Structure 1
Amino acid sequence: MITAPAPGSAVDGVVLVLPEGEPDSVRRPSPLAYAGVLPLARSLARAGAPEGLAVHVVRYRGRGWNGADARLAADAAWAADEVGRRYGDVPICLAGLGMGGRAALHAAGHAAVGSVLAMAPWLPEDDRAVEPEPVRQLVGRQVMIVHGTNDARTDPELSFRLAERAKKTNRDTCRFEVHSDGHALRQHHSEVLALAGDFVLGALLSRAYSRPVTDALAAPPPLGLRMPLAAGFGRSLRR
């Protein structure tokens, strides 16, 4: 756990943060991958704990997706079940980076999940011989994808294509492009964290989204799926 509201205070929403993984591996989870999402988890905790937000980083059983096993998505769904056992019927946001972003998208069909934040999601190359990445489970969820345009590890064009398919059945889908940033989204780190907080707290705690997020969700494709993340996002007043 990163944080939870003070003892005796109600938990009104839970974020499950999903670290990086690998396409195929039987090795134990990577401590570096876990550490890589701590800044996001801590930022969300600072912003949301006073309003009843609990934040947990999921510890996978292993680091591999491993084909049809989709083990990281299964671990995300298990964690969502655990949230129900610990906190009761509260809304959940799945927030993942890289392979964790793919896990968040896949596990979105869990009944308690109402929103998904996929940051630089790892997605397989388009292949007509392989079943395309599913999007039906995203219907009824608030979905945001964030991707650096210079990501050399996970192709940003693949996340655009997935967002394009998702938007056809779920209008509450948007995608932000972080121009000149790479996979780890470090160049515009503060803006990315501010965007993540804006989305997560808006989706879970009924805060009003900032104008850029509202516009991105409302805009037809491709505008709402190639929304540029402005320099300095989060420094000005939300409304």
Structure 2
Amino acid sequence: MSHDAPPARGTRLGRAAGANGTYSTVSGVVLLLPGSSRWHPGPVRPLARALARAGGADGLVAHTLVHGGRGSREEDARWAVGEVVRRYGDVPVCLAGYDAGGRAALLAAGHEAVNCVLALAPSLDEAPGAAAREPVKQLSGRQVLIVHGTNDARCDPEASFRLAARAKKANRATCRFEVHSDGHGLRDHRFEVVALAVDFVLGAMISGRWSRPVTDALAAPPPLGLRMPLASGFGRSLRG
């Protein structure tokens, strides 16, 4: 599917959240890519609300991609980036996904409008040797953050670590945080996960600055910057 090809039937961009809804005021767009289950959306909904609150005054808009149920999520994500460019013009785009949406965000990052990628508990191919086959060149030139719970029983956190290690070689602006004792839905530390995601997105798309933990993770060599622990209470005194 090309960037301009129509999406699978039923696939669409959800209503915009943030800014004031006029194209002239939009400075950046976050595309939120949900997981494979509508019953277990993970942190996508609270993240959309938090991004609208934190970045709306600076022109940040968030759209949740509604998957039509056919075709691949990667193809839908590529279409969505093209649709954002059609609607808003030359603005930076963040692909932020959870579960299957996390993998789609990583794979669809090659579009020239994408400037950062956020993958929360990404669902990656865990077959033997699969990590070495997942492409990473499309992440070059993007800011990349992967977040994974260490007790994720559905998507192996070590798979995202292996992918992050390969991505770091192609793109130094890659980091990964581990949420100790949390599972696939990242429920136990939801506040911290959302705060980390917002800090990363705002830094990549608006301010050019991050909190100290994110700055350190981006700068640290592997494996340190790829196994950065997400501290309890992160976000309660950001930039303080």
Question: What is the TM-score when the length of structure 2 is the normalising length?
Answer: 0.89
Confirm or deny that 1:19 pairs with 2:26. Answer: no
Q: Deviations over 1:130-159 (max 9, x none)?
A: 971110100000000000000001000000
Q: Which residue of 2 aligns with 1:149?
A: 150
Percent identity at matched positions?
65
- Over 3 Å counting, the alpha-carbon distance change for 1:36 and 1:201 in structure 2 is closer
Task: Identify the residue that residue 45 of structure 2 maps to in structure 1.
Answer: 38
Instruction: Tell me, in whole angstroms, the C-alpha distance in 1 between the residues paired with 2:38 and 2:218.
Output: 35
| Cross-structure match for 1:61 | 68
The Cα of 1:41 is off from its aligned counterpart by 1.0
Alignment RMSD? 1.8
Q: Map of 1:128-139 to 2, 5 A cutoff?
A: 128=129, 132-139=133-140
Counting only pairs closer than 5 Å after superposition, residues 86-101 of structure 1 correspond to structure 2 as 86-101=87-102
- Comparing 125-134 with 218-227, which one deviates more in the overlay? 125-134
* C-alpha contact 1:105 1:116 (8 A) present in aligned 2: yes
Aligned residues of 1:96 and 1:103 also touching (Cα < 8 A): yes
Match of 2:56 in 1: 49
Structure 2: which amino acid aligns with 1:53? L
Aligned mates of 1:34, 1:150 — CA distance in 2: 18
Contact 2:132 2:163 in 1 (8 A): no
State the shift of 1:31 in Å: 3.8
Q: Which residue of 2 is the match for residue 26 of structure 1? A: none
* d(CA) in 2 for partners of 1:222, 1:157: 12
Flag structure 2 segments of 5+ consecutive residues without an equivalent: 1-14
Contact in 1 for aligned 2:19/2:60 (Cα 8 Å) = yes
Which one-letter code corresponds to 1:13 in the other structure? G
Counterpart in the other structure of 1:6? 20
Distance (Å, rounded) in 2 between the aligned partners of 1:4 and 1:152: 34
Instruction: State whether structure 2 residue 204 is matched by structure 1 residue 203.
Output: yes
1:57: how far off?
0.2
Cα deviations by residue, 1:66-90 (Å, 9 ceiling, x for unpaired): xxx7x10110010000101110000
1:61 positional shift = 2.0
**Equivalence map 1:52-201=2 (5 Å):** 52-62=59-69, 71-128=72-129, 132-201=133-202
Name the amino acid aligned to 2:230: L
Partner SS state of residue 167, structure 2: helix
Q: 1:238, CA displacement in angstroms?
A: 1.0
CA distance in 1, matches of 2:38, 2:170: 37
Corresponding residue SS for 1:146 = strand
How far apart are the structure 1 equivalents of 2:236 and 2:42? 26
Structure 1 contact 167–173 (Cα < 8 Å) conserved: yes
Offset of residue 189 of structure 1: 0.6
